Structure 1
Amino acid sequence: MNHLESLKEVGILSAKEIFWNLSEAQLISQTLRKGQGIITDSGALACDTGEFTGRSPKDKYVVLDDKTQDSVWWGDINHSFLPEDFDRLYNRVVEHLSQSDLYVKDVYACAKSEYRLNIRVVTENPWQSLFANNLFLRLNEKELESFKHEWLILTAPSFKAVPETDKTRQHNFTIINFTKKIILIGGSAYTGEIKKGIFTVLNYILPHEKEILSMHCSANIGENGDTSVFFGLSGTGKTTLSADPSRKLIGDDEHGWDHENVFNFEGGCYAKCVNLSQEKEPQIFSAIRQGTLLENVRFFEGTDIVNYDDTSVTENTRAAYPIDFIDNAIHPSVGGVPNNIFFLTCDAFGVLPPISKLTTGQAMYHFISGYTAKVAGTEAGITEPQTTFSACFGKPFLPLHPTKYAELLGKKLNENKVNVWLINTGWSGGSYGVGERIKLSYTRAMITAVLENKLENVDFISDDVFGLQMPVQCEGVPSEILHPKNTWTDSSQYDQKAIHLATQFMENFKEFESFANNEIIEGGPVQKNK
């Protein structure tokens, strides 16, 4: 079957030109020829994504049909879209694409072969095809010859929906059809919609159909084969703490956990670049070279040198590169069952311990909570720390109810000997503005102590509000900071702030309480029982 015949199967009846599985160099050349990008001093390709420089969560939909009606967690995250409206809009998009140059990239997701998901990505822009090449797993020539896609992504940035007739909120949209296995993207060139579209798909297929836990996390593996997993929202230190030169990187963002392995969904990294420097993030900095796609960055005036501190377009500047651009990445991107799981939080209230060990119930509760805090000055109008909760550390990408993922986590924790740790990378000795940020060297020392089993014979004590188990000593860390209450000059103020935070946790949990089992509920703050 020729390329046009293959596209006719999905409704694209013609095209100006079809570029099929072009190489990295060819895609870069096409981008430059179209005037859509420039080469930086490091050899990377820099492009702008246009109107949208980030995801548009309010414009992401799931088709409501017999397959999804009773399984998807409908509401603020998963907006419903009727099948007949999808079909009508799909036909309009493929008609639009039939008038364009098209770039087709065949790739797959899931580094463990049993779960391999073949994906065909059809785009209008060559640099979007480069993104697909870099972020997903790549096929060799022999595999490409016999490739058949299971999922189709059509992305048409220049297509603008008409909300009144297309039933969208505005002119851009991302729509996932689980029955037809199609992701339809229009009106936005932001490539993160492609990446997170497939993550959402895997967050449905693996837990719902295969009882495999899908996770928004990074993972690495030690010399002895021990696997560690790191969860954490933006600003908690996930990328920094998982990038350990003494350990091999499994992946930086999306993973699955079956009965015997943790495996990467992706074949690349989509790293934030804001304020990037060689000193702070040497691995990411060195990965930005020929073949890397940079998005929405700006340059020092009169040069081709990227100014990573320039956020005039967006703070969400990004670099997309294959995972083997990271020197210590492991291939294939698969590790064993985790020995240790770290939940990272930046607690700006100065309440949570720098390190604590969680029971299975507490692990499920804190997993559902997905807590961190924004500090004053990070956003307009924030004058004191504000709680931020994102279920399972990835709420925007959960098609199933969060308790499904939490219960799967609990099941796996009970079946395996896994330690779960809550790590506070935020404040100690008081809230933001009074206390001090916990030193990165202390956080690294705590994680090293865990990985080297140095806390196995240490005594633990419990805090009064959250019931968390805190070690009384840890090599490389002053003992006085391990119990946060001891670092406050006024212990009564600590108690007030701790109860305030516990109340915030309980208020957030009300959304999930009716779906949660007793073990999850009992894993919450003990203050609620007083």
Structure 2
Amino acid sequence: MNSIDLSINLKELLGSHHVYTNLSVSQLVEKVLSRNEGELTSTGAVRATTGKYTGRSPKDKFIVEEASVKDKIAWGSVNQPISVDAFDRLYQKVLNYLQNKNELFVFKGFAGADEKYRLPIQVVNEYAWHNLFAHQLFIRPEDHELESHDSQFTVISAPNFKADPEVDGTKSETFIIISFERKIVLIGGTEYAGEIKKSIFSVMNYVLPEMGILPMHCSANVGMEGDVALFFGLSGTGKTTLSADANRKLIGDDEHGWSNSGVFNIEGGCYAKCADLTREKEPQIFDAIRFGSVLENVILDDQSRVANYDDTSLTENTRAAYPIQAIDNIIQPSVAGHPNTIVFLTADAFGVLPPISKLTKEQAMYHFLSGYTSKLAGTERGVTSPQATFSTCFGSPFLPLPATVYAEMLGKKIDEHNSQVFLVNTGWTGGEYGVGSRMKLSYTRAMVQAALEGELNSIETIKDETFGLDIPLHVPGVPDEVLRPELTWENKEAYKLKANELAEKFKNNFTKFSNVPQEIEQLGGPTVK
């Protein structure tokens, strides 16, 4: 910040009379309503809309190209550089803009449930409803913790401040910029609250590895005997559904760290999709949306203010934010031991991956780096066949460091703690999408249950010819033939062609990793015949 003359600094801004720090939920709800930022729903939740942007803006995300991080960041389309001077000028403009606001809202709390590794943060908001969102999604301090709170990272969110790309060095009016030296996240031009949550996750993905901790985009739960399970998977793979288990306590649903002590939740809340939400399908999420929760872009009935989760006219990406304490079956604090079982979830619309398979360490690292699932045919005009989608480490938009850093840490952890890793396909069986059928949830639950209980650790397996995966020959509650994809296809030749097609996509995707040890691809990846 020394490169320009600051007319106001952050400390001065936050010391002014119009800043409200750590208001209670009730006070924030009152502010939201009095400022006409949102409406109260029939369950007492706050509903807000996010205007032009109803999701993240990945093309508008930048990292400041500072000397101390320049050689560490994996620069590219995900981590775009912006100069120190450009950041400083924009930062000053935002502070000056916020100085003229009648009210500002600050949340002071933490990221990381393990007190040994947590990051003290503060979130400065132009909107009261964004501050309520931050209050529910991050870890809330006790009174004595607030008294001694010393923020190590600050998120500044000014949705109504719009950048001028030609002047400010951005790509549009929207910007999400991380400065690791100044310990600032600067957000503007977007009202989508998810940017606040994910920016801190991006920060933790940089900070934690330097402490020897693996940050992970996954859900986690713990059994009655203390056995821990992790669930990795992209949207639509069943991560939330399968980690919500009446016989296991939830550690967290989205972001975790794996330290030398075990697993801990990075967040203090949940940010759940709620399109087509019903109490029958997702009772925990449905019942968590009560007073203090935040609904984004959900349509309400004009009179009753009852949420209509089937109406996605504003966006498919309707969301609910609520504290993790709104769920009954949780572990508190959100900390547990080392994972016994790791599950990679994929929804393979090609219908060729086994419904469950055991992975070696090399295969685990390969599939972790690949982060595969598939978009479905028929969901978009002109899409007539499944589209393979790869998201590195199941969270590529949030990884500042090279992907191999995270994969190597995972491999080391698997070795150290003898964690059993499984690839579970919740997608199609008996043919690709449009020919076969979706894997029965009851079968998937039975397979995951068997994996969690250790029943598959020493069971007889057969090797898949294309993908090299070890397929269990028997799983309680699942017909044997379902376990082997080629047996479920009527046209065996069509199966082989489709399996090779997907294998080729895996191999093509993997070429983007230039510094991965050769044995990971040789021992972990598929073969193409």
TM-score band by shorter chain is over 0.9
Aligned with 1:283: secondary structure?
helix
Counterparts of 1:104 and 1:388 in 2: how far apart (Å)? Answer: 38
Distance 1:492 1:53, change over 3 A: same
Aligned with 2:434: secondary structure?
coil
Asked whether the 8 Å contact 1:506–1:524 carries over to 2, the reply is no
Give 1:8 shift.
4.9
Deviating above 6 A after TM superposition, structure 1's stretches of 4 or more consecutive aligned residues are none
Aligned to 1:39: 40
Aligned with 2:231: secondary structure?
strand
Aligned to 2:90: 89
The one-letter code of the counterpart of 1:516 is: V
Which blocks of at least 5 consecutive residues in structure 1 are unaligned?
A: 1-6
Aligned with 1:154: secondary structure?
strand
Give 1:50 shift.
1.9
Counterparts of 1:421 and 1:13 in 2: how far apart (Å)? Answer: 48
Aligned length: 521
Deviations 1:190-232 (A, max 9, x none): 111110000000001111x112111000000000000000000
Q: In the TM superposition, what are the counterparts of 1:80-479 in structure 2 within 5 Å?
A: 80-100=81-101, 101-207=103-209, 209-479=210-480
Distance 1:493 1:90, change over 3 A: same
Give 1:16 shift.
7.1
Deviations 1:334-361 (A, max 9, x none): 1110000000000000100000000000
Asked whether the 8 Å contact 1:15–1:97 carries over to 2, the reply is no
Counterparts of 1:152 and 1:12 in 2: how far apart (Å)? Answer: 13
Distance 1:99 1:505, change over 3 A: same
* 1:75 and 2:76 correspond: yes
Counterparts of 2:83 and 2:381 in 1: how far apart (Å)? Answer: 37
Distance 1:223 1:102, change over 3 A: same
Counterparts of 1:267 and 1:523 in 2: how far apart (Å)? Answer: 38
Asked whether the 8 Å contact 1:160–1:171 carries over to 2, the reply is yes
| Deviating more after overlay: 379-388 vs 94-103 | 379-388
User: Percent of aligned positions with the same letter in both sequences?
Assistant: 55
Aligned with 1:19: secondary structure?
strand
Counterparts of 1:457 and 1:333 in 2: how far apart (Å)? Answer: 31
Distance 1:112 1:434, change over 3 A: same
Asked whether the 8 Å contact 1:120–1:153 carries over to 2, the reply is yes
Asked whether the 8 Å contact 1:16–1:102 carries over to 2, the reply is no
Aligned with 2:13: secondary structure?
coil
Counterparts of 1:356 and 1:401 in 2: how far apart (Å)? Answer: 27
Asked whether the 8 Å contact 1:465–1:525 carries over to 2, the reply is no
Give 1:524 shift.
3.7
Asked whether the 8 Å contact 2:506–2:526 carries over to 1, the reply is no
Aligned to 2:487: 486
Distance 1:423 1:181, change over 3 A: same
Counterparts of 2:380 and 2:253 in 1: how far apart (Å)? Answer: 26
The one-letter code of the counterpart of 1:396 is: P
Asked whether the 8 Å contact 2:341–2:421 carries over to 1, the reply is yes
Asked whether the 8 Å contact 2:108–2:123 carries over to 1, the reply is yes
| Deviating more after overlay: 100-109 vs 215-224 | 100-109
Aligned to 1:3: none
Deviations 1:419-439 (A, max 9, x none): 000000001111011111110
Deviations 1:250-282 (A, max 9, x none): 000000001221100000000001110001100
Counterparts of 1:148 and 1:154 in 2: how far apart (Å)? Answer: 16
Counterparts of 2:219 and 2:365 in 1: how far apart (Å)? Answer: 18
The one-letter code of the counterpart of 1:203 is: N
Aligned to 1:4: none
Give 1:12 shift.
2.4
Asked whether the 8 Å contact 2:420–2:457 carries over to 1, the reply is no
Give 1:142 shift.
1.6
Aligned with 1:114: secondary structure?
coil
- TM-score normalised over the length of structure 2: 0.97
Asked whether the 8 Å contact 2:104–2:127 carries over to 1, the reply is yes
Asked whether the 8 Å contact 2:366–2:525 carries over to 1, the reply is no
Counterparts of 1:455 and 1:129 in 2: how far apart (Å)? Answer: 46
Asked whether the 8 Å contact 1:449–1:474 carries over to 2, the reply is yes
| Deviating more after overlay: 151-160 vs 296-305 | 296-305
Aligned to 1:515: 515
The one-letter code of the counterpart of 2:113 is: A
Counterparts of 2:457 and 2:106 in 1: how far apart (Å)? Answer: 52
Counterparts of 1:415 and 1:90 in 2: how far apart (Å)? Answer: 44
The one-letter code of the counterpart of 2:173 is: H
Give 1:472 shift.
0.5
Aligned with 1:176: secondary structure?
strand
| Deviating more after overlay: 10-19 vs 281-290 | 10-19
Asked whether the 8 Å contact 2:360–2:524 carries over to 1, the reply is no
Asked whether the 8 Å contact 1:363–1:523 carries over to 2, the reply is no
RMSD over equivalenced CA pairs, Å: 1.3
Distance 1:15 1:50, change over 3 A: farther
